[in-house]
Structures are given as C-alpha cells and as structure tokens.
Amino acid sequence: MSKYDYDGTTSKKGGKLEVWDMLSIILLLLTLCIGIYFVTIFIMPNSALNPFPPNPIDPNATPTATITQIQPEATWTATQPALLTETPTLLPTFTLEPSPTPFSLVPATKTLTVTATPKAAFSASFKGIDSTIIHPELGCKWQGVGGTVVDANNADMLRMTIRLVGTYNGKSKNELTVSSIAPAYGKSGFEFFLGDVPITSKGELYLQLLDQAGLPLSDNLYIDLSKECSKNLVLVRFVKNP
C-alpha cells in the first residue's frame, strides 16, 4: 500500500487534533479576556465592571479634621507636691594653728656686718645735643641715641654690646648694637635710630652695657628724650669704673 493512501483510521486521528487546537485557542482567548478584565478593575476600581466598587471619593473635597477633646479621668485630682524641708549641714570647725614665735640665730651681743652692694663695672653720662653735628643733612628730621664706650684710661673699647629697651612713641623697643660701628662718634661709636619726628619722653627707654656672654656690665640707665631740635640726639658715654 502506498504511503499516500488514506484509510479511515488516519482520517479519524487528524480530526481529533483539530478539535484540541480549537480548544487551546479558545482557552488562551478566555485567559486574555480575564486578564484584561482584572487589569481594568485594578486601574479603574470605580468603573461599572467592578462588582465590589470602593466607597466613592470626591477628589475635589477638602478633608475636615475632627478634634476630640481629651477628657481627664473621672477620678483625676490635682495634687500639690509635698515641700521638702532641707536640713542644714553644719560646717566643720577649724582649729587655729599656733602662731610662730620669732627668734634670732644671731646672739644679742654680736653686731651684724652690712655688705655693700657691688658696684657696676661701667657707669654712663648723658647729654642732649643737636643731631646735625652727626647728621647735618637731616636737620631736625631725626631722633636717636649714640655715643662711645671707654675704659678707665679713656681708651676706646671696641665690640662692646649695648642694648636699648623700653617704649618709644607707643611702640616697644628691644634692640642691640655694637661699639665701633658708628665711627662718627669715635672709634668705639654706636648709635640707635628712633624716628624722624622728635618727641619728648621721660624714662621710657634705658640703655645697658653687656659683655660678650650677654651679662650686664652696667645698671639700667634710663634716658629722657626731647622734641627740641637742639636736643634731639642723646649723647651717651660709657666709662669703666676704676
């Protein structure tokens, strides 16, 4: 028998397959319709298709707040807290220490010897002069301190340190210089420039002579300044004491 010959059995099987195909298509269409139905209800819950629509809400309605006053309990009674009575604490008492009795280790019959304060190695003299003697080109537009350092035989002492400390025209000063750097005053000459407008001050600046180790060789020697052009240079002469 040829493969193209059809009998009754083969025709029957082909008919069953067509029926199942139709049922499958119908089931898919039904599922799709149910899905569209539920999506429509989800998107528009207030539509006519929803058998259980939610309570209608007016989108333009303004919500009103309902204020419910809180009522105290029927048995609530205001009570005043009891006042606490503070009991004072007594401060501890202090016993005074016995006062010391002065006494002296020096016998009454012995006379104390007073030791004299050592004299500074150098002393100084001051004099106000016209600055044009040293700086003729500046006239009265200058004020400062300058001078020399000599030994007991009036020989110039070079490379001695001089310090200027204090306040000038409201500004603090703490400057150092060395003798022999201002030869216009002499071989051991030194100088401090203060300002270009002379002022008057009393004891606001002092000079001190120091050795190479920075130890003082003189007392603090306070100087006075004058705004007069004839005294705008304070001339200083340090002299070694014999």
Average confidence (pLDDT) over 210-236: 94
Average confidence (pLDDT) over 21-42: 86
Exposed, middle or buried by CB within 10 Å (0-12, 13-18, 19+), for 168? middle
Angle at 205 between CA 204 and CA 210, to 5 degrees: 150
Taking the C-alpha atoms of residue 180 and residue 161, their distance in angstroms, rounded to an integer, is 10
Would you list the DSSP string of 25-62?
Answer: HHHHHHHHHHHHHHHHHHH-TTSTT-SSPPPP--TTPP
Domain ranges of the chain: 12-51, 122-240
The arrangement of secondary structure in 122-240, i.e. its CATH architecture, is Sandwich (2.60)
Q: How many H helices and E strands in the chain?
A: 1, 8
Average confidence (pLDDT) over 169-180: 95
Q: Is the pTM of this model over 0.75?
A: no
- Mean pLDDT estimate for the chain: 81
| Residue 26: pLDDT over 70 | yes
pLDDT at residue number 1: 46
Taking the C-alpha atoms of residue 22 and residue 31, their distance in angstroms, rounded to an integer, is 14
Which residues are bridge partners to 156 per DSSP?
A: 150
Return the top range by mean pLDDT from 13-22, 39-48, 80-89. Answer: 39-48
**Per-residue confidence band for 81, with pLDDT thresholds at 50, 70 and 90:** low
Nearest to 233 by CA among 203, 194, 205: 194
Name the residue with higher pLDDT: 185 or 79.
185
Average confidence (pLDDT) over 1-24: 59
Average confidence (pLDDT) over 212-230: 94
Query: What six digits make up the tokens of 61?
Result: 């309605």
**Where in 160-220 does DSSP place strands (E)?**
161-168, 171-178, 190-195, 201-210
Taking the C-alpha atoms of residue 149 and residue 182, their distance in angstroms, rounded to an integer, is 12
Nearest to 149 by CA among 158, 139, 140: 158
**pLDDT over 90, % of the chain:** 50
